Structure 1
Amino acid sequence: MGKIIVATKNVGKVRDFAYLLAGKGIEVTSLLDYKDIPDVVEDGETFADNARKKAEEIAERLQIPVIADDSGLIVDALDGRPGVYSARYAGEHKSDEANLLKVLEEMNGVPSEKRTARFFCALAVAIPNKDTIIVEGTCEGMITKEQQGNQGFGYDPIFFIPSKEKTMAQLTKEEKNQISHRANALKKLKELLRNNELLVTRVERL
């Protein structure tokens, strides 16, 4: 079995990746298992910048493959906010509840047809002495006017998916991991690995 580190201390993200990579012969660990590694400063201008930085810095430090994502919510009526600031939108303390309440407050009075939004994920895979792979995935939806559901994490309770007639927080884990931005990015990564012989060689090392 290979081993890969998911460069996050977010328990929800760790669960998502463990589920998405289940049955692939890959042992998934996270930064929760490496308490001495300091947080990587996410100061990039884009999701891809931050994902690359996290993956490369930790892969260089530990000399094993690292997968990192930077993901967040993009709301059209808010000119793309929270965007790359999604995790800290209401402050540096990183409160999911405070973040989504801030979005709801800022969206107060916005009509239903203008509440379009999407979850966005940039996924980076860094392997020591190899080029970093970056893929991106999205999931389209609408911002609700109140929280609905208690599954998932982050902005899931206010992100409504019309095709499912549910918020992300009302979906089962199986449903979420068929349509989520993170799942869509991972699907692209798998396809890239299948179609490129060099990359297949890389993934066999994971």
Structure 2
Amino acid sequence: MRARLATGNRHKLDEFRRALPDWEIELVETTSYPPETGSTYVANARGKAEHGRLHSPGDAWVVGEDSGIEAMGLKGGPGLESARWAADGVARLLEELDGVGDRRARYVCTIVAIGPEGQEVVVEGTLEGAVVSERSGNEGFGYDPIFVPEGETHTVADLGDAWKASNSHRARATRALAAALQRSGSSRGGR
């Protein structure tokens, strides 16, 4: 499968490549993206994919993605604002949750893929867990140093990139995308 990922975040490109090793994935060649002003993850992901479609080869799928962390103690915040919430989102999340009893949280990743003929596939992946009170670990990015997945005792940053390739919210969403394209027969094209 030939695809272009509509993001300026090279960490996300690395995660997509690890999760979909049989795909040929490159970044969309553009210097800017539309602002993430949608009221849903789907709207933001679709905006990136539609913009990316304008700057990508006609035979490639274009993938837009939006993700965030939703803390139950903050009524689902920062959610859609996760990437823009603060210069240091981890520090702010720890500050906002200081003294809050409910540390449950989840990562959400929504992908909108637009095919060569304009067909659209929308999928989501989530990872349940909790926010711990101190940073730990050196791998991953974003909120990974303070997020412990359900069933684990270490942060995502401690568990590392190899763990993320199979278990993260983004890995779950990319598997859902691959499965949806396989079911539709779309994965045969775009090589």
**Under a length normalisation based on structure 2, what TM-score does the superposition of the two structures give?**
0.92
Please identify which structure carries the higher helix content.
1
Q: In structure 2, what is the equivalent of residue 107 of structure 1?
A: 97
Task: Describe the superposition over 1:69-115 as per-residue Cα deviations: whole angstroms up to 9, x where unpaired.
Answer: 1001011110111111110001xxxx4xx11100000000112xx10
On the 8 A contact 2:68/2:107 being kept in 1, the answer is yes
Identity among equivalent positions (%) equals 35
User: Cα offset for 1:202?
Assistant: 5.2
Q: Which runs of 5+ in 2 are unaligned?
A: none
Q: Does 1:8 align with 2:7?
A: yes
Which runs of structure 2 are paired with 1:156-167 in the superposition (5 Å)?
156-167=144-155
Counting matched residue pairs gives 189
Which runs of structure 2 are paired with 1:16-165 in the superposition (5 Å)?
16-22=15-21, 24=22, 26-31=23-28, 34=29, 36-62=30-56, 63=58, 64-90=60-86, 95=87, 98-111=88-101, 114-165=102-153
6-15 vs 133-142, which moves further? 6-15
184-193 vs 137-146, which moves further? 184-193
The structure whose RCO (Cα within 8 Å, separation 6+) is larger is 2
Q: Which runs of 5+ in 1 are unaligned?
A: none
Q: Which amino acid aligns with 2:53?
A: A
What secondary structure is seen at the aligned counterpart in 1 of 2:82?
A: helix
User: Cα offset for 1:128?
Assistant: 3.7
Distance 1:203 1:138 in 2: 27
Distance 1:186 1:155 in 2: 20
Distance 1:193 1:28 in 2: 15
Distance 1:204 1:182 in 2: 23
On the 8 A contact 2:131/2:147 being kept in 1, the answer is yes
144-153 vs 183-192, which moves further? 183-192
**Under a length normalisation based on structure 1, what TM-score does the superposition of the two structures give?**
0.85
